[in-house]
Structure 1
Amino acid sequence: TPPLVYAVANKRIPITNAVFLAALAFGWLDYDIIYLCPEGGYIGNPCIATDVAYLRFGPADACQLQVAVAPAEVLTSGGMAIKPAFVAPQKMFLGQTHNTLGYAVPSQEWNGSPIGRTYEETMSPTPSFGDTVVNAIISLAADDDCAVMMSP
């Protein structure tokens, strides 16, 4: 197997946060915007196109480093959910990559209204963003032979 694996999951992140929607209306969001986005729950809800990525260094039967690459800062609970999917002796997490979309807050930690109650929610496009990022990283890692060949 190759000594370097790079995998990417293209994601559409719905914009439901009022702060992001206002910034979009004023033209302040410099992202790839999809204006007819069914992922947002209904046609017409805008989405941001972004990537979530995974890297593995070393051959699958002796992988040394696995790297998660997220377009936001993933909260601790998200990192803890990803950790079991990474079996290499060394692990790395790179956040605020690709689009730099703020915080990836898991849906179970999203408090909702009022807007601005927590800084992280104010700086996140939607309540499902954290789940989308974490699940994509787990899926990319699971598709790599490293996770299969090095598991106990």
Structure 2
Amino acid sequence: EIYDADIVALIDNRTHQAPQQWKIVAFHTFGGTGTIPTATIDMQHEDGRRVQDAATGDGPVDAAFKCLERIVGVNARLQEYTVRSVSKGKDALGEVTVQIDVDEKTFHGKGVSTDIIEASALAYLQALNKSLTSDRGRSQHAQHGM
């Protein structure tokens, strides 16, 4: 069953996205009791190149965040992580918001999915992409003497 809140959350997430240098093509996480949580992510850069990597972490979300940072080439510090349900039922959409610090600057990201690990990865990647866009803008201004 699809609720109005599901549609609103998905549209809101699409319309508030920053330009994406990187996007997730595919990802897989593995975790559980007595195992080493692992994330494997396949990503594509806006220039067309594809990069795959894997990382381990304290849980599947931490592993995904570490893997994203390695692929994107940004070291971030997670300051805030929030998960909330935006609709009803077992197939409800989860909305994850993150706040990260990169080089003493703060960036926010939001991801929406029925899979909270995917929503977490989307939110973190959105924040990382914003940090890259910020760096690109600063570099262009420096080149032009602004």
More strand by share: 2
Shared fold by TM > 0.5?
no
- TM (norm. structure 2) is 0.30
**Higher relative contact order, chain-length normalized (CA < 8 Å, sep 6+):** 1
TM-score by length of 1: 0.29
